[in-house]
Each structure stands twice: as C-alpha cells, then as structure tokens.
C-alpha cells in the first residue's frame, strides 16, 4: 500500500501534537512530509528528528542553528503545496492559516481542517478553490467531525437541522457580574478539553461556538436557521443531526482530539486504532444538556448575526475576536470587553465590501487596527 503523505501545519500546538501521536501509531499508512510551527524551535527540532519530513518551517525563523529549515509565513504554503503532501492537516491558530488552506485545496488535496478561522473568514473563497482545484475540506473540529459521521452518505436535503454541543466553558454557571471580572487564569481553566490559549478563551466567551456555527454553514451548506447550539458540559455527545423524518443521530466519544484527527485522515474509511481508551457509557454518566445563556454570552449571537450578514462580516467578527483575545491575554482589556470589541467592530466595519482574498485580508487588518485603537 502506498503511504499517504501528511503535512502538519501548527505541529507544536495542541492539535498538532495530537496529530503526531496518531501518525506515530500508523507508520505503515502515513508518512510526515512537512512540519511547521510559529516559534517553538526546540519542540519542532524534536519532532523533525523523529518524523524526518522533507520540509520543516519555522514562521518566526530568525537565526536558528537549523540552516535547512524554511522561515517566514511562506513556509506554510510551501509545506502545503509540496507534491508529496497528499493531506494537509491545518492546525494553525487564527486567520494566519488561510493561504495554506487555499493553496492545498487549489491543488486538489485534502485539508484536514482544525483551523476553523480560515473557513469563517473566507468560506466562499475556500469553497470556490475546492471547486476549481478539486480539493476537499474534512473537519477535525469534533462537532463537525460528528456531523460528517452522522450524515454519512445521506443527501443534505434529508437533514432537518443540526445541534452543535458546547461544553459551556469554565463560566457556564457564573453570574453575569462575576463574568465581567473574570481573570485570564479563570478563563484558561477549561472543564473538559486541554487546548491552545486562544480557543480556550473562545470557549469561555462562546465565540468558539459562533465560529463553529459559521464553520458548519460553510462546510455542509446548512442555512443558519438549521444550526442550533445546546450546552452539554461533559463534551461526550459531539453533535446531533435531526433528519427530516424526525429521527436524531448523535456521535459520541470521550473528549480526545486524536479521534477526529484520525477520522479526518481516513474518511470515509475507518482503521483499527486503540490509542484512545474505549468508551464506557457508565463512566461517562450522567450526560446532561442545558439551554445556552445567550444574553450573558453575547459573542455567540454576534457571530451568528455576522454569519447571516455574510460578505466580510464573518472576517470582521473573527478578526475583532482574535485581536480582543490577544489584548485580554496581555491583561490590557477585561473579559467583558471581548464581546464589546466585537459588537463595536461589526457596527463600524461589518459592511466592508469585497469577497476577494485581498478584500478579506484588508477587512481583517482594518478590524485588528480598529480594536487596538479602541483600547490604546
């Protein structure tokens, strides 16, 4: 059997390292063709020594002792375009992942996509690049992997609606006045998943679920009216699909990203893998569900409104959120400022026109500058 080549962008992150654990178990099926990271040179060097990819890229590359490494943001697209990379696992955080996604699907490759921000920012462009180049996006995000698995081979016209589950984050049961004063360390205590800092804050504001609603819209073509969100604190049911006959199918599993990563690599096949402990329904009990507190976590509603508005509004939503989260992590704005920055940005810039890559990148940059100016 020919081994499939996999490039991992963002290999030093939470999803990237989960992906390498999966690939290390299946050397007969996959080989690593490229590894990229932003700045963690020691871990990248360790990974490169173990997996021996042809391309190693460090975006922030100044002077390292590794002359053969590539540097700058171009290394992401180079690793994505390399002919021996059949699958590109995009585990970069943020809008920085867009060009690599476009490059890979434009060349007919599979992108195993964790980097939801690139799809939110430019969903129509990514879809167009898939059509033109023959590439495909297979989600790594657990909720979207669940939807893909639940829908199976049935046409989307047989789906009435999907229900994305949300853990509710660390502040699920906090009162509103306490939320306003939540600290960075409070917000980084995610109850069920160990993830990078940006998505962990997004889970606390529920901006992550807004990104995921838009992601579901672009991945599967469901209208916003067909996508709902329910809080499920245990993160065991990864999402529900209700079909037109009223029957509901859910996908379950322990919260471990190695499961959706492996499925994104092998879809529609499944292969033997025992790296993740077997599911025990009794150990996972009880499974509970709650309504979302939409008024107390306005980022969710703001993101869905931006999705409905279309055009550059999702890119503005995403950029305002990325910039506000960065300022929050630096201790320069409060937790409550994150949704306020998003709302103000959408009011000011949500109608920016243009659907090209350049227009969306310009909307992204203008929004970041706008948010920085708000809190200068």
Residue closer to Mg ion, measured from CB, 55 or 164 = 164
Residue closer to ligand NAD, measured from CB, 115 or 266 = 115
Among 5, 6, 10, 239, binds ligand NAD (CB under 6 A): 10
Which H or E run includes 133?
Answer: helix 116-133
- Binding flag, residue 103, ligand NAD (CB under 6 A): no
Among 23, 55, 82, 92, binds ligand NAD (CB under 6 A): 92
Helices and strands of the chain, counted as H and E runs? 15, 11
Please, are residues 114 and 218 in contact by the beta-carbon 8 Å criterion?
no
Separation of alpha carbons 320 and 41, rounded Å? 29
Region near ligand NAD per CB under 6 A, out of 11-19, 48-56, 273-281, 295-303: 11-19
- Which residues of this chain interact with Mg ion, rule CB under 5 A? 141, 143
Separation of alpha carbons 341 and 344, rounded Å? 5
- What does 116 interact with, of ligand NAD, Mg ion, none (CB < 5 to 8 A by kind)? ligand NAD
Q: What are phi and psi of 304, to 5 degrees?
A: -65, -40
Among 33, 47, 115, 321, binds ligand NAD (CB under 6 A): 115
Residue closer to ligand NAD, measured from CB, 11 or 323 = 11
Residue closer to ligand NAD, measured from CB, 114 or 341 = 114
- What does 227 interact with, of ligand NAD, Mg ion, none (CB < 5 to 8 A by kind)? none
The residue sitting closest to Mg ion, measured at its beta carbon, is 141
Tokens of 280: 């025990």
Separation of alpha carbons 148 and 205, rounded Å? 26
Question: Which of 37, 31, 30 lies closest to 13 in space, CA to CA?
Answer: 37
Residue closer to Mg ion, measured from CB, 161 or 190 = 190
Q: Which residue has the tokens 């063709």?
A: 33
- Residue 258: CB atoms within 10 Å: 18
Closest distance of CB 26 from ligand NAD, Å:
20
∠ Cα 363 365 367 (to 5°)? 65
Which 30-59 positions form the footprint of ligand NAD (CB under 6 A)? 37-38, 40, 59
Burial group, residue 318, by CB count within 10 angstroms (0-12, 13-18, 19+): buried
Among 6, 7, 15, 201, binds ligand NAD (CB under 6 A): 15
Residues that bind ligand NAD (CB under 6 A): 10-16, 37-38, 40, 59, 76, 91-93, 96, 114-117, 141, 193, 195-196, 199, 257
């Amino acid at each position: 059997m020919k081994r499939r080549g996999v490039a991992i962008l963002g290999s030093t992150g939470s999803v990237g390292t989960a992906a390498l654990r999966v690939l290390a178990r299946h050397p007969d099926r996959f080989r690593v063709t490229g590894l990229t990271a932003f700045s963690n040179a020691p871990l990248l060097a360790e990974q490169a020594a173990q997996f021996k990819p042809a391309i190693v890229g460090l975006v922030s590359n100044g002077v390292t002792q590794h002359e053969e490494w590539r540097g700058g943001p171009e290394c992401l697209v180079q690793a994505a375009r390399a002919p021996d990379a059949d699958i590109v696992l995009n585990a970069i955080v943020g809008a920085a992942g867009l060009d690599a996604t476009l490059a890979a699907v434009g060349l007919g490759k599979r992108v195993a996509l964790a980097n939801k921000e690139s799809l939110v920012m430019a969903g129509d462009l990514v879809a167009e690049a898939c059509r033109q180049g023959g590439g495909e996006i297979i989600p790594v995000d657990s909720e979207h992997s669940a939807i893909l698995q639940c829908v199976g081979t049935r046409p989307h016209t047989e789906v009435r609606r999907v229900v994305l589950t949300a853990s509710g984050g660390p502040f699920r049961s906090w009162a509103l006045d306490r939320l306003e004063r939540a600290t960075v360390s409070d917000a980084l205590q995610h109850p069920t998943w160990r993830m990078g800092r940006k998505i962990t804050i997004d889970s606390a504001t529920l901006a992550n679920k807004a990104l995921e609603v838009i992601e579901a819209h672009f991945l599967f073509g469901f209208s916003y009216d067909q996508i709902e969100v329910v809080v499920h604190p245990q993160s065991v049911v990864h999402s529900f699909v209700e079909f037109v006959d009223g029957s509901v199918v859910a996908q379950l599993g322990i919260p471990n990203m190695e499961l959706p990563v492996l499925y994104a690599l092998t879809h529609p096949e499944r292969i033997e893998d025992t790296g993740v402990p077997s599911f025990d329904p009794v150990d996972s009990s009880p499974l509970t569900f709650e309504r979302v507190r939409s008024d107390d976590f306005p980022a969710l509603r703001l993101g869905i409104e931006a999705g409905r508005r279309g055009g550059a509004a999702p890119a503005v939503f995403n950029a305002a959120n990325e910039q506000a989260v960065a300022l929050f992590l630096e201790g320069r704005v409060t937790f409550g400022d994150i949704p306020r920055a998003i709302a103000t940005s959408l009011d000011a810039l949500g109608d920016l026109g243009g659907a090209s890559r350049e227009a969306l990148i310009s909307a992204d940059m203008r929004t970041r500058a706008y948010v920085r100016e708000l809190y200068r």
